[in-house]
Structure formats: C-alpha cells, structure tokens
Amino acid sequence: MAIILGVDPGSRITGYGIIRAEGRHIEYIDSGCIRVGDKPMAQRLQSIFHSLATLIGEYRPEEFAIEQVFMARNPDSALKLGQARGAAIVSAANSGLAVHEYSARQVKQAVVGKGSADKSQVQHMVQALLSLSRKPQADAADALAIALCHAHMSQSVLKVAASGGKVRSGRVRQQ
C-alpha cells in the first residue's frame, strides 16, 4: 500500500492530489490548490516549497509524482513553471522522496485513455475513478491525475518484474 502525492506545478496555483493505492484499489485522500497570488517570485516559490513540505509531513506519502515541463508558447511562462517545479521537487527531495516525472500526454493517456484529452475530460475521469461526489477544481484534478498515472505505471512495472520480463519500447519481453 502506497500513499502517492501528485503535484501539478504552477507559478500562481499549484495543484496537489493525495491517493492511497493498493494493487488495483485506489482511494482518494485529499486534494486542493496552493494559491500564491501576485507575491514576488521568490516568495511564491517559498510558499510552494513550505506548503508541500507541510502536506508531506501531514500525510507521509511514500511516492511523489509531478508533471514534466512542457514548452509553452511564452518562454517567460515556461521559466516560471520550471521554477515552481523546482521548488516542489526540492521539497519532496528534502523529505527523502524519490521524484517520478510524467509528461502531460502520459498522464492523460493513463487517466482518460487519450493523450490529447482536454481538462474537462481529465476532471470527469478523475471524479469517476476516485468516486468523488463532485468534480475537483482543475489544478487539483490534474494533480490527482498525475498521482493516478503514477499508481498505474507502478502497477505495470510490478507486473513486468513479477513476470520476469523486460520492458523495451513499450512492449514486455520475456527473458
């Protein structure tokens, strides 16, 4: 059984989602958003770092998953996103957590079944997969989707390891 913290980093809003995964059984624990507003960038990064450290201390996750950087149209936005990711990653690393990174396409594929899914489809599937009474806020839904993606990927790796196979180019090869 593993508690997984998924993070959708942002320079103004960082989503987080916490689930418990045991085999195919996945249970919702918590989710929300770290809103840092219009503070100077250094203070926003500090808020992200400390807020995640507080969540890690409270929920004691064994796994940490975060979305990889993507190339945004605006280079300044991409740099700020990278800085927010860095603050989140250092918070996890300081707590002794290994960091697992997934592309947005991998996350959407794992949760929706289509790598080009839009935000509303991700929200809908997160709500359905976790049996939530309402759709989570978009950034929290993305973070939960990242945690779900990690749970699915971890299960796949365990299955391959148990079968004695190797993964190569997306296929399982028996030894």
Q: Which residue numbers belong to the known binding site?
A: 8, 67, 139
The 3 state secondary structure assigned to 92-119 is HHHCCCCEEEECHHHHHHHHCCCCCCCH
Question: Under 8 Å CB-to-CB from 175, ≥6 apart: which residues?
Answer: 164, 165, 166
67 tagged catalytic: yes
Catalytic residue among 58, 62, 67, 118: 67
Structure tokens at 44: 């926003």
Q: Which are the contacts of 25, defined by CB distance < 8 A and separation ≥ 6?
A: none
What are 110-119's contacts with CB under 8 Å, separation 24+?
110/145, 110/148, 110/149, 110/152, 110/153, 111/145, 111/148, 111/149
Q: Is 63 a catalytic residue?
A: no
Q: The tokens of 64 are what?
A: 């940490």
Task: Considering the candidates 8, 27, 101, 118, report the single residue annotated as catalytic.
Answer: 8
- Closest C-alpha among 110, 7, 102, 109 to residue 53: 7
**Closest to 119 measured CA to CA, from 134, 101, 107, 102:** 107
From 62, 63, 139, 142, active-site residue: 139
Binding-site residue set for Mg(2+): 8, 67, 139
Is 118 considered catalytic here?
A: no
Please give the positions annotated as active site: 8, 67, 139
